[in-house]
C-alpha cells in the first residue's frame, strides 16, 4: 500500500511540474514533463490493484508478493501504457455518421460536414496531427468544415505556418468555428483572429443562412458561470421564422444541451471532453457532463460529441482515440 500512497502524493502536484516545463523549457522537455502525469497516474492505479490482489492472496492463499518484482512490474506496465498512448494520440480515426432529415431543399440529397475539435495547438503540439487532420478533411470533400473549440493553446498572432495548414482545405458552404474555454485562456481576440486568417468565420453567438442549411454558434463562456446557463437558448430562439424549416447546425464547444433548446436545432456538434483522454477518466467525464461520446438523440435534435483531434497536456491517449468526424446530412427516406 505504500507505493499507492506515494503515487497519490506524486499525482497531487503533477500540475505544477509540467506547467514549469512548458513555460521555461524547449518543447521536447515540456512533453517529457507532461508525460509525468499519465505515468504516475497509471502507476497509482496499478499499485492499488496489486495491493488489493496481494492482500487477497495473502489472506486466502498464504501467498506473499515479492515487493521488488511488484515495483518493477508496475513501472513496466505503466511505461508500456504511456508509450502505447503516445502513438495512439497520433493515430487519428475517421468517424463517419449519417444524420437523416426532411429539411434539405429540392436538389440537395446530402450535405457533408467535417468536424475538427480540441486540437490544442500549443508548445507541445505535434504539427503532424494538424497535417493528418486536414488530409482527412480534404479527402472527405466537405461542403462545410466546423471547428468546435479549443483549437489553440497559445498566442498564434505570428504563426502563419499553422494558418496555412489549417486553411488549406476549402468547403463550398463555408468554414466555421466557435471558441472553447482554452481560447479564453490563451486570449480570445488573438485566437479568433488566428482562425479568421485561416479562412474560418468565427460565430460569436451568431448565425448564417447558407442556403440549404443554417449554421449557428456560440462562444464558450470560459470562466463565466452565469453565461454557461444560457447554452445558446437566446441565439436559437431568435432565428427568424422563415429559417425554421431549414436544417440548423449548432456549434457549441461544451456538450451541454439546454432542455429548452431541443427542437430549435437539428444537429449540435461539440467536443471539450476528449473522451476522458486517459482511461478510465472517460467514465468520470460521462458522469460529470451527463452525456456519452458519439451520437445522442434529444427529441428531434441530435448531439454529436467528438473525442477531439489533438490532446491537452500529455501527448497520450488511452481508450479515447483522436477523431475527425465526417457527418452526412442525408434526406430522410419516405
The three grid cell numbers given for residue 128, joined into one nine-digit string: 503532424
Q: What is the mean pLDDT of residues 157-169?
A: 89
The 8-class DSSP code of residue 170 comes to -
Q: Cα–chain-centroid distance for residue 38? A: 18
CA–CA dist 31, 22 (Å, integer): 8
Per-residue pLDDT at 217 exceeds 90: yes
Taking the C-alpha atoms of residue 131 and residue 137, their distance in angstroms, rounded to an integer, is 10
pLDDT bucket at 226, cuts 50 / 70 / 90: very low
Mean pLDDT of the chain: 86
Residue 235 has pLDDT above 80, yes or no: yes
Give pLDDT tens digits for 240-254. Answer: 988 888 999 999 999
Looking at the predicted structure, is the pLDDT value of residue 122 above 90?
no
Contacts 24+ apart (CB under 8 A), 157-163: 157/190, 157/193, 157/194, 159/194, 160/197, 161/127, 162/121, 162/127, 162/130, 162/194, 162/198, 163/194, 163/197, 163/198
Give strand pairing partners of 177.
Answer: 147, 202
Q: Which one of 3.40.50.970, 3.40.190.10, 3.40.50.2000, 3.60.21.10 gives the CATH number of domain 93-331?
A: 3.60.21.10
Q: Tell me the whole-structure pTM to 2 decimals.
A: 0.88
CB burial of residue 161 (10 Å; 0-12, 13-18, 19+): exposed
pLDDT of residue 10: 55
Residue extents of the structural domains in the chain: 2-88, 93-331
Amino acid at each position: 500500500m505504500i507505493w499507492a500512497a506515494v503515487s497519490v502524493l506524486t499525482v497531487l502536484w503533477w500540475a505544477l511540474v509540467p506547467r514549469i516545463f512548458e513555460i521555461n523549457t524547449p518543447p521536447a522537455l515540456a512533453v517529457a514533463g507532461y508525460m509525468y502525469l499519465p505515468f504516475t497516474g497509471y502507476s497509482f492505479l496499478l499499485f492499488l490493484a496489486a495491493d488489493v490482489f496481494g492482500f487477497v492472496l495473502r489472506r486466502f492463499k498464504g501467498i506473499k508478493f515479492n515487493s521488488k518484482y511488484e515495483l518493477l512490474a508496475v513501472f513496466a506496465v505503466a511505461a508500456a501504457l504511456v508509450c502505447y498512448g503516445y502513438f495512439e494520440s497520433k493515430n487519428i480515426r475517421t468517424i463517419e455518421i449519417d444524420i437523416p432529415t426532411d429539411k434539405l431543399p429540392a436538389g440537395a440529397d446530402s450535405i457533408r460536414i467535417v468536424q475538427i475539435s480540441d486540437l490544442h495547438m500549443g508548445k507541445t503540439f505535434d504539427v503532424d496531427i494538424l497535417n493528418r487532420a486536414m488530409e482527412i478533411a480534404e479527402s472527405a470533400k466537405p461542403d462545410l468544415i466546423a471547428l468546435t473549440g479549443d483549437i489553440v493553446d497559445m498566442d498564434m498572432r505570428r504563426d502563419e505556418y499553422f494558418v496555412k495548414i489549417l486553411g488549406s482545405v476549402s468547403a463550398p458552404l463555408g468554414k466555421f468555428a466557435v471558441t472553447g474555454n482554452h481560447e479564453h485562456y490563451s486570449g480570445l481576440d488573438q485566437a479568433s483572429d488566428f482562425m479568421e486568417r485561416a479562412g474560418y468565420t468565427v460565430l460569436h453567438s451568431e448565425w448564417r443562412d447558407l442556403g440549404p442549411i443554417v449554421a449557428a454558434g456560440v462562444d464558450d463562456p470560459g470562466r463565466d458561470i452565469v453565461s454557461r446557463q444560457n447554452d445558446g437558448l437566446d441565439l436559437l430562439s431568435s432565428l427568424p421564422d422563415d429559417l425554421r424549416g431549414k436544417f440548423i447546425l449548432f456549434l457549441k464547444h461544451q456538450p451541454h444541451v439546454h432542455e429548452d433548446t431541443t427542437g430549435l436545432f437539428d444537429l449540435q456538434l461539440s467536443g471539450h471532453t476528449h473522451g476522458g483522454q486517459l482511461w478510465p477518466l472517460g467514465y468520470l467525464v460521462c458522469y460529470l457532463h451527463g452525456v456519452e461520446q458519439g451520437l445522442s438523440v434529444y427529441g428531434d435534435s441530435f448531439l454529436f460529441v467528438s473525442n477531439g483531434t489533438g490532446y491537452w497536456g500529455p501527448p497520450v491517449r488511452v481508450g479515447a482515440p483522436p477523431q475527425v468526424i465526417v457527418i452526412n446530412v442525408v434526406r430522410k427516406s419516405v
